[in-house]
């Protein structure tokens, strides 16, 4: 059973961090701002994975909490932009793009593995 939870939370978080930090870095987000991208995902990813699993949400219902996460992450990025040393210029657009790509990658991975991840 522990193996199930490790896969459910661990793979999702690692994939999300890899994709979203990579995207942020490719868009020249560096330093403290890159750290915020990582920390925001460490905060939101396990929560959304748990909620969609607990409530048995599958596609397309799981898109609703994903949209909420996009808004929350965008708001956090926006609030940090008010502080010196943070530089995510279009926080809500970045959040939407980052989350759409990482969510899509998760769907593709599930399809490729037959849902065995």
Distance of CA 76 to the CA centre of its chain: 13
The model's pTM? 0.90
Where do we find the tokens 């926080």?
Answer: 91
Tell me the pLDDT tens digit for each residue of 55-79: 988 878 999 999 999 999 999 999 9
The pLDDT of residue 117 is 65
Cβ contact 38:19 at 8 Å: no
How many other CB atoms are there within 10 angstroms of residue 111's CB atom? 9
H-helix segments, 10-115: 12-26, 31-54, 63-81, 91-113
């Amino acid at each position: 059973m522990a193996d199930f939870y490790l896969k459910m939370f661990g793979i999702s978080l690692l994939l999300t961090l890899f994709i979203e930090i990579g995207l942020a870095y490719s868009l020249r987000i560096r330093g403290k701002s890159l750290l915020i991208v990582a920390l925001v995902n460490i905060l939101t990813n396990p929560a959304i994975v748990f909620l969609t699993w607990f409530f048995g949400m599958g596609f397309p219902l799981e898109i609703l909490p994903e949209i909420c996460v996009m808004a929350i992450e965008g708001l956090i990025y926006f609030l940090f932009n008010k502080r010196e040393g943070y530089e995510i210029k279009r926080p809500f657009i970045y959040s939407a793009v980052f989350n759409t790509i990482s969510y899509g990658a998760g769907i593709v991975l599930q399809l490729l593995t037959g849902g065995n991840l």
